[in-house]
Structure 1
Amino acid sequence: MMVETLPLPLPLPLPLGRLQLQNTRLDLKRWVPAFLSSHKNLFTVLWIAAFASVFIWQRNVVGLGAGGRAFSIFGGRPLPPRPLPMLRPVAFNLTDFGGVGDGLTLNTEAFERAVLAVSKYGKRGGAQLNVPPGRWLTAPFNLTSHITLFLAQDAEILAIQDEKYWSLMPPLPSYGYGREHPGPRYGSFIHGQNLKDVVITGHNGTINGQGQTWWKKYRQKLLNHTRGPLVQIMWSSDIVISNITLRDSPFWTLHPYDCKNVTIRNVTILAPIFEAPNTDGIDPDSCEDMLIEDCYISVGDDCIAIKSGWDQYGIAYGRPSMNILIRNLVVRSMVSAGVSIGSEMSGGVSNVTVENLLVWSSRRAVRIKTAPGRGGYVRQIAYRNLTFDDVRVGVVIKTDYNEHPDEGYDPKAVPILEDISFTGVHGQGVRVPVRVHGSEEIPVRNVTFRDMSVGLTYKKKHIFQCAFVQGRVIGTIFPAPCENLDRYDEQERLVKKSNSQNITDIDYDF
């Protein structure tokens, strides 16, 4: 069934709200700089604007009225359904293939028939599969190349919870292990392999993994295989995922594996902040040329975790994660970290930029984690414009994250950590702003801190913690840095050379 051709509105990023002041006699040229010169006032503006944007952006998720239609946040009138854009030369509706969106009917065959129909249009520019408003229960299904999976406003794809419907797959070659159990692993809910030109988008429709049953069985040790991700795309290129909500994954939520040219934009990822184990938000794994921007993530593990394989299996597979830009995110992780690198990074991670990041009410903000046996490297990592609010530990580099797939790893395969910079780190309510825990066998080299001012909640002398780290501090930062780092002034002239980079001042009691 063909659908009406309409122009696609430009993606809506997650910017700070604009204040349009009209008919006022205030002298903006004097008032605005004076107001924003106070860091506390600036932080308040950032905080309010970011969450106002998230609230308005998420109105279709929480503002459902009778019949599943969204209500305006400014009144009780239902918003009209948004027309579906035409993004491919041909488009189908799921209902064309027998789909029933009542939340009870199993739609696996409808999805499979629809994807098969789309696959026949690959040489003609591909085709679009529209998922209309409704609740579409299905077992896991595969995608095809040159597909646009479009979720309408109020559309929700529901994963069946019975694991007998989830097929088993071999372990990932760079892991050699199911991650939670040896042997096979459950496949993902929405899966793709060896694909090109895949788009998953919509009017903020939802893909719901209904992971509650999986989490409970995992805690009770009732599963014999590793849980499956919500969306996993492997060995593929030219992937775009935008303008949707992903929630309650059984395991990792969005897992691009050994992919190139991936864009993830305007995606909301949700899971309970407790009792939802390993529900990472986005896990780029041995990926190259990737953009993650304008997302809101609140989950039960790392919001983002960049990976590249596990110990000897990752070293042998040899595919690094590289050229990754992460920007304009609001994230929350009460269990793990906002943005992590590792701990499975044995293929190497390089050329990563994280900028314009707000981490709130979290255990850790940004973290690099590795261990002897990993091999590989983490280098050329730049963090810029980070804001922490109510965070236990802000910056973490940890080199003893000792978790291994089996006894076959080489303990002498030590990773290299070098060329890591932090510029523009601010916030409030932080207990430990920096904890860089290198070791004699895994020292952390060439670390730079510049423009840092973090409000503290814990009044203890040694709150900037270091061990086996070499690097520098440029200009004045708060709190006072550890003695391991060289001091430079704002013009980058050496003021004081560190006596030793091996001083250990790590306190895990707080």
Structure 2
Amino acid sequence: MMAEFVNVGALCLLFTIVSGFDVWNLDQLEQAKKNGEKLITVKDLHVPAGKTLDFQGLNGSTIQFAGRVTFGYQEWRGHLMIFKGAGYTVKGLPGHLIDGEGHRWWDTLGGNGGKLKPGFAYFQLENSYVRDLKFKNAPALGLAINACKNVQIDNLDIDNADGHTKGGHNTDGFDVARCENVKISGCRVNNQDDCLALSSGKNIVFSNNVCIGGHGIAVIGGYDGGIAEDILIKDCKVIKNNIGVRVKTMLNGKGLVKGITFDNIQLQDISEIGIVVIGNYLNSGPRGQPTKGCPIQKLQMTNIYGNVLKNGTKHLVWVADDASNWIWNSKIQGGERLRPCQGIPKGVNIECGK
């Protein structure tokens, strides 16, 4: 049973905003922290190479973006932006853009080699509201949503479309881990990797989002013994991705994937596989026989519809024999290549090869 979400948007508005402070450079941001400012407007700011735009230490504040935010070029490991604390409202004003200019790092390799690439933005928030932000061209990885609690994320635009022709790779939309009571809604992701990659957490909702050009919506089990439980993914569109939706657990991974529901998901022109459920995942691709240790329990695939291209496959299921309590109702057209399935719980009917 999904827990009820706190209306964190209303909660954040309870904080009294007594003054405003405009930030054009990092020194001014540090001054805003010292002053205890509660309304900070970031205007046409350029972050020097190798530095992080760091919004820690601003509990109870509203941070709003106006104009264009850019970052200097350097090969380094880190994040271009960090939001960490409690009671934040983070929002974009009309006409703003947070531009990572990722083409400077792109080399078709992403995190697998080549240039050392920073991640775009890291969020570790409690009782907070993030909305109306526009991100463009992540160097690699998009938004890390990590150890968040009672957070609502609405109407974000993550636009890495340039990466389709300029070498973008591993430009994930949302990477979610160790979160509780988080809702991501009304967002648009155009990228070259997972639209959502959720590896652990409880009571997470991903709804009314549009995913274009990437690797689909994924729940990933078996990282460091993590548990993904009570996850609802609903009312989303997955357009021209190679995969529609998938649940994948790590080869030899330990943990639990339980209570995962995909409901009312429209697939459009998926090139490879509509629905994937596997138990032998590695970052380099599935390998070997699926392993036990991270069972997939109470999985629901309901009203998954749309089309897979002719040479693709509707369903691929390849898990160990510890899966249980699945409900499956898909209405996918096309995908004439049939693949064999393994480990489907008894009583569940899925169209597969033999």
TM over 0.5: yes
Contact 2:274–2:308, Cα closer than 8 Å, also in 1: no
Distance 1:287 1:294, change over 3 A: same
Report the count of equivalent residues: 324
What is the CA–CA distance in structure 1 between the aligned matches of 2:121 and 2:141, rounded to whole Å?
Answer: 8
Q: 2:208 aligns with which of 315, 321, 328?
A: 328
Q: 1:481 aligns with which of 342, 350, 353?
A: 350
Q: 1:201 aligns with which of 91, 99, 103?
A: 91
Distance 1:472 1:89, change over 3 A: farther
2:275 counterpart residue number: 395
Question: Would you say 1:89 and 2:18 are equivalent positions?
Answer: yes
Identical columns (%) = 19
Aligned pairs for 1:66-465 within 5 A: 88-94=17-23, 99=24, 110-121=25-36, 127-132=38-43, 134=44, 136-138=46-48, 139-143=51-55, 144=57, 145-152=59-66, 155-163=67-75, 186-193=77-84, 195-204=85-94, 205-216=96-107, 221-223=113-115, 227-234=117-124, 236-271=125-160, 272-273=163-164, 275-308=167-200, 321-334=201-214, 336-337=215-216, 339-342=217-220, 345=223, 346-391=225-270, 392-403=272-283, 414-430=293-309, 431-440=312-321, 443-450=322-329, 452-458=330-336, 460=337, 462=338, 465=340
DSSP-derived class of the 1:263 partner: strand
Contact 1:350–1:379, Cα closer than 8 Å, also in 2: yes
**1:421 CA displacement:** 0.4
Contact 1:112–1:142, Cα closer than 8 Å, also in 2: no
Gaps spanning 5+ residues in structure 2: where? 1-8, 285-289
- Corresponding letter in the other structure for 2:316: R
Structure number with larger C-alpha Rg: 1
DSSP-derived class of the 1:283 partner: strand
Which structure ranks higher in relative contact order (CA pairs < 8 Å, sequence separation ≥ 6)? 2
**1:190 CA displacement:** 0.9
What is the CA–CA distance in structure 1 between the aligned matches of 2:273 and 2:345, rounded to whole Å?
Answer: 20
Q: Which has the larger share of strand?
A: 2
Contact 2:154–2:186, Cα closer than 8 Å, also in 1: yes
Contact 2:258–2:299, Cα closer than 8 Å, also in 1: yes
What is the CA–CA distance in structure 2 between the aligned matches of 1:241 and 1:322, rounded to whole Å?
Answer: 19
What is the CA–CA distance in structure 2 between the aligned matches of 1:218 and 1:466, rounded to whole Å?
Answer: 31
Contact 1:118–1:127, Cα closer than 8 Å, also in 2: no
Q: TM-score, normalized by length of structure 1?
A: 0.58
What is the CA–CA distance in structure 2 between the aligned matches of 1:348 and 1:201, rounded to whole Å?
Answer: 30
Distance 1:198 1:92, change over 3 A: same
Distance 1:247 1:471, change over 3 A: farther
What is the CA–CA distance in structure 2 between the aligned matches of 1:455 and 1:383, rounded to whole Å?
Answer: 18
**1:118 CA displacement:** 3.9
Cα offsets for 1:87-111 (capped at 9, x unmatched):
83221112xxxx3xxxxxxxxxx23
Cα offsets for 1:152-205 (capped at 9, x unmatched):
3xx111111123xx5xxxxxxxxxxxxxxxxxxx22111144x11222211252
Q: TM-score, normalized by length of structure 2?
A: 0.82
Contact 1:87–1:148, Cα closer than 8 Å, also in 2: no
Distance 1:381 1:393, change over 3 A: same
Contact 1:87–1:128, Cα closer than 8 Å, also in 2: no
**1:279 CA displacement:** 0.9
**1:135 CA displacement:** 6.1
What is the CA–CA distance in structure 2 between the aligned matches of 1:116 and 1:413, rounded to whole Å?
Answer: 53
**1:374 CA displacement:** 1.6
What is the CA–CA distance in structure 2 between the aligned matches of 1:394 and 1:417, rounded to whole Å?
Answer: 19
Distance 1:380 1:471, change over 3 A: farther
**1:403 CA displacement:** 4.6
